[in-house]
Structure 1
Amino acid sequence: MIAQTLSQLRQLKLTGMASALQTQQEQPGPYEGLSFAERLQLLVDQENQERQQRKQERLIRTAQFKLKAHAQGIDYQHPRGLQQSQMAALLQCDWIRKAQNLLLTGPCGSGKTYLACALGHQACLKEYSVRYVRLSRLILALTQAKADGSYGKLLKNLASFDLLIIDDWGLEPLKAATRNDLMEIMDDRHDQSATAILSQLPTDQWYQSIGDNTLADAILDRLMHNAHRINLKGESMRKKLNSLTQAEHLG
């Protein structure tokens, strides 16, 4: 009977319950004193835990993070102006629930991408949907979508994520079509979902980098009015991480 029950649970894709039931059968000692309701609750708890873990893993895959980053790996020792209290608050992800934005600026190598991916990873663990994309890749995807007729579908998809992370903002001048595309994206997300922008340019130069006064006003107004800001400074962390001692060079 137990074998048949295990088979049916797996057919119903209740693999967590099946695993927990099999454990109870193979190691009966810890469960002998429990009531039927208590043992059943353990099965349900295991199923719920496995489903939650699978969802988190699926969200992380969908996010397509550039780096495998997590909150425990954030370096607070490197002198770059990163405030641990601010990061601790952001890692709670309440700003995502409130559809607020994050503007993360700093020089090349200051760790912007790692911080954003760590925040995104934490959001996935809290079961928020996240998507990471570099601006150049986003522009390419939008251009291709216009060509194959899937532009509206792509905009709808981008609007659906609880957190959209756009990296490498402002690296090159924007074309008119791109400005309009960004306006569509920001308008869809305004007060509906959170957006994180990563840029080497300080925020006071974003207006000029967009290139059109009217659209710059509209885009930045939607980004900045409810945004948290992190401005990193100092020497590149890549230089620190890649520096080798003389002995290491000789080795």
Structure 2
Amino acid sequence: MTAQTLSRLRQLKLGGMANALETQLEQIGTYEGLSFIERLSLLADHEHLLREHRKQDRLIRQANLKLKATIAEIDYQHPRNLQRAQIARLGQSDWLERGQNLLITGPCGSGKTYLACALGHNACLQGYSARYYRLSRLMLALTQAKADGSYPKLLGQLAKIQLLIIDDWGLEPLRPAHRNDLMEIMDDRHGQTSTLMISQLPTDQWYATIGDNTLADAILDRLMHNAHRIPLKGESMRKTLGKLTEDEHPG
């Protein structure tokens, strides 16, 4: 009967409950004092926990984050205008629930991408979908989608991502077609889902990088009006770490 029950649970894709039941059966005496409902509740809790872990793993894989980063490992020692309190608030993910945006700016090497990936990873742990793109790769994907007829489908997929991370914003001027693509994305996501933009340029220079006044107004209005901002400063962390390494290993 036990073997049949375990087999049936796994056939029903209740592997977590099956594993928990095996544990209860192996630990003789540990669960004997519990009622049927209490033991069943433990099995259900284990199944729920297993499914949550699987969901988190799936969301993290699908996010395609550039770096393996976590909020717990963010460096606050390096002076770069990064506030623990702000990261703690963003880590609670209320801004994602409200469809608000986040703009991370700062010089090359200041840790912008790591910070964005840490927040993306944290969003996945809390059950939100995320996806990382470099802007050039996103524009290429949209161009290819137009060619093969999947453009509406890709726009629909992008609109549903709860945290869209776009890196290297402003690195090169936008082409006319790309301006329109970005406008479509921002309009679909406005007030519904969150966009995290990463750029070496301060936000007051973003207008010029778009290249069309009308579209620039429309895109930046949707992107900036409800956005949190993290303006990083200071010397490149990579240079600083390189200097430390040279000091530790002279010659």
TM-score w.r.t. the length of structure 2 is 0.98
In 2, Cα distance between the equivalents of 1:4 and 1:248?
Answer: 63
Deviation at 1:78, TM superposition (A): 0.6
What secondary structure sits across from 2:81 in the alignment? coil
Deviations, residues 162-200 of structure 1 (Å, cap 9, x unaligned):
110100000001100000000000000001111110000
What is aligned with 2:68?
68
Give the whole-Å Cα distance in 2 for the aligned partners of 1:245 and 1:180.
Answer: 47
Comparing 239-248 and 156-165, the one that deviates more: 239-248
**2:213 pairs with 1:213:** yes
Matched, 1:238 2:238: yes
Cα 1:246–1:237 shift into 2, 3 Å: closer
Equivalence for 1:171: 171
Give the distance between the partners of 1:150 and 1:138, measured in 2 at CA. Answer: 14
**2:59 maps to what in 1?**
59
Deviation at 1:239, TM superposition (A): 1.5
Give the C-alpha shift of residue 241 in structure 1.
2.6
Aligned counterparts of 1:35 and 1:241: Cα–Cα separation in 2: 58
Aligned residues between the structures: 250
Runs of 4+ in 1 over 6 A off after TM superposition: none
Pairs within 5 Å for 1:81-230:
81-230=81-230
Secondary structure at the counterpart of residue 30 of structure 2:
helix
Deviation at 1:245, TM superposition (A): 3.1
Q: What's the TM-score once normalised by structure 1's chain length? A: 0.98
Equivalents in 2 of 1:131, 1:29: separation in Å?
Answer: 47
The 3-state SS of whatever aligns with 2:127 is coil
Identical amino acids, percent of aligned pairs: 72
Residue type at the aligned position of 1:136: S
CA distance, structure 2, for counterparts of residue 189 and residue 151 of structure 1: 16
User: Residues 212-232 of structure 1, C-alpha deviation per residue, up to 9 Å, x if partnerless?
Assistant: 000000000000110000000
CA distance in 1, matches of 2:52, 2:140: 34
Change (3 A) 1:247 1:162: closer
Runs of 5+ unmatched residues, structure 1: none
Residue 208 of structure 2 aligns to which amino acid in structure 1? Q
**2:15 corresponds to:** 15
Structure 2 runs not aligned, ≥5 long? none
CA change 1:247–1:235 in 2 (3 A) is: closer
Work out the CA distance in 1 between the residues paired with 2:127 and 2:7. 30
Post-superposition shift, 1:11? 1.1
1:248 CA displacement = 2.4
1:113 & 1:141 partners in 2: Cα distance?
21
Q: Deviations over 1:139-181 (max 9, x none)?
A: 1101100111100100000001111010000000110000000
Query: Which residue identity does 2:130 align to in structure 1?
Result: V
- For 1:171, the aligned partner's letter is L
Distance change in 2, residues 1:36/1:19 (3 Å): same
